[in-house]
Structure 1
Amino acid sequence: MSEANEPTGTVEPGDGGAAEPDAPAGTPDAADAGPGRRVRVVLVDDHRMFRTGVQAEIGQTERTGVEVVGEAADVDQAVSVITATRPEVVLLDVHLPGGGGVEVLRRCAALMADAEQPVRFLALSVSDAAEDVIGVIRGGARGYVTKTITGTDLVDSVFRVQDGDAVFSPRLAGFVLDAFASTDAPPIDEDLDRLTQREREVLRLIARGYAYKEIAKQLFISVKTVESHVSAVLRKLQLSNRHELTRWATARRLV
């Protein structure tokens, strides 16, 4: 069964027992986050094993202060679980079935803007591609860290995001500043901005040589919907066929 169809909902935190006197080296400690502090977190990633690993690493609530209250494997699940649990922080993967992390951010915009109980997002991804980083930051995420981060640093990042800070992996921080502040930053691609997030996903897969049926399976949509998206992309970019589309995407390093 595809992970996108797996049951989701509230996840019980760790056993809640007292911490052992000698914790393993490198284990995140709640003391680092401040006495008695707690943060409720939802994990959004389409790889079950990765979610399980993060849960085991940071979800020992009595030790880390992090309570994992829900998990999701695709966009629809993420929006449903986040809306139901209203966590303080969401750890969000960038590449997800159903539209990606940017689509989750778009559909949760009202929750992020809630003055009384804002839901804040921290991207946690294997990707350090410029387009991915800028995309989720523009979408409203408070930070972006890669999956090479240690458990201790991830706990610290979660609490900092809860406090409203912006958090980035060291190499990405300078990149983000350059992208948003430098007068030498690359101009916005107006052609690419005409496309919706889903159209961009279909564009990339077409450019990578995927057949319509493969794209439909990858994005959990029908072949007819894929065809509609391809037609829309060709029309908006004023291209004639998928070969021209592939050259267009390759020239912009989107493949």
Structure 2
Amino acid sequence: MSDTTPTTGDQNGSVPGRSRVVVVDDHAMFRTGVKAEIGTAVDVVGEGADVDSAVAAILQTSPDVVLLDVHLPGGGGVEVLRRVHEKNPDQRFLALSVSDAAEDVIGVIRAGARGYVTKSISGDELVDAIRRVAEGDAVFSPRLAGFVLDAFSGAIDIAAVDEDLDRLSQREREVLRLIARGYAYKEVAKELFISIKTVETHVSSVLRKLQLSNRHQLTRWATDRRLV
């Protein structure tokens, strides 16, 4: 099976009472691992590795829940949500991502996902989250639940966060998060496989775009917005 070919299961072969799930992630090994973890409790009826294959698998199988990674080739999880909801507004999504960054969480929830859990979740917890989303509940990893409540209650000005972050490129956001977490330039360069000079250039650009003066202000800015 290629990474970009959607696969579907036999809808008539699903076990009554078990949730039907499509797994969307651009890493084949991760999809295989998820299926191994949850396959005895749910029916995995399809999968996708990018936006196009994900949309095709979801529309073809109409699962109870889609497990959706946030970062995907072809436009990301938000694009999958947009395209599927144009055809089926009732389709339920549960974001499953390594990222707990503010713009990722709020982006997919605004786009219509019913929940957001991180990849540190256990197999049993994921099965329970799938069941709850299938029943109409909203589900979040514990750390993210308070953040989402703060965001939508107005305690965090997400509109301002989005506006500021929109000025940054994807690479600048990656550098921002690592610097805010206390990484030295040398460590950032190693983590992102770029030169120290390139890191310095990105940091200067981030400071200029956010109208900040130094690394300390940058760290406080990111921490206040729960980006780290």
TM-score, normalising length: structure 2: 0.70
2:119 to 112, 133, 147: 147
Matched, 1:135 2:135: no
Query: Partner letter of residue 248 of structure 1?
Result: K
* Alignment CA distance shift 1:208-1:170 (3 Å): closer
Query: Is the Cα contact below 8 Å between 2:103 and 2:162 reproduced in 1?
Result: no
* Alignment CA distance shift 1:245-1:156 (3 Å): same
Provide, for residues 133-159 of structure 1, a one-character-per-residue CA deviation record: whole Å limited to 9, x for no partner: 111100100000111111111111111
Distance 1:136 1:67 in 2: 24
- The residue number in structure 2 matching 1:121 is 93
Cα deviation for residue 80 of structure 1 reads 1.1
1:39 to 10, 16, 19: 19
- The residue number in structure 2 matching 1:78 is 54
Give matches, 1:91-240, under 5 Å: 91-113=67-89, 118-182=90-154, 184-189=155-160, 192=163, 203-205=169-171
Query: Is the Cα contact below 8 Å between 1:207 and 1:245 reproduced in 2?
Result: no
Provide, for residues 97-153 of structure 1, a one-character-per-residue CA deviation record: whole Å limited to 9, x for no partner: 11111111111123452xxxx310000011111111111100100000111111111
Between the aligned residues of both structures, percent identity stands at 58
- The residue number in structure 2 matching 1:87 is 63
* Alignment CA distance shift 1:164-1:150 (3 Å): same
List alignment gaps of at least 5 residues for structure 2. 176-201, 213-217
Query: Is the Cα contact below 8 Å between 2:46 and 2:61 reproduced in 1?
Result: yes
Cα deviation for residue 52 of structure 1 reads 0.2
Matched, 1:248 2:215: no
Match of 1:161, SS? helix
Query: Partner letter of residue 56 of structure 2?
Result: S
Higher helix residue share:
2
Query: Is the Cα contact below 8 Å between 2:7 and 2:57 reproduced in 1?
Result: yes
Distance 2:76 2:27 in 1: 14
- The residue number in structure 2 matching 1:222 is none
Provide, for residues 179-226 of structure 1, a one-character-per-residue CA deviation record: whole Å limited to 9, x for no partner: 1013x322513983896xxx97xx2137769xxxxxxxxxxxxxxxxx
* Alignment CA distance shift 1:159-1:112 (3 Å): farther
Alpha carbon RMSD of aligned pairs, Å?
A: 3.3
Distance 1:145 1:103 in 2: 19
Match of 2:8, SS? coil
- The residue number in structure 2 matching 1:220 is none
Match of 1:53, SS? helix
Distance 1:152 1:177 in 2: 25
Matched, 1:52 2:32: yes
Distance 2:108 2:26 in 1: 17
Cα deviation for residue 12 of structure 1 reads 6.9
Query: Partner letter of residue 42 of structure 1?
Result: V
TM-score, normalising length: structure 1: 0.63
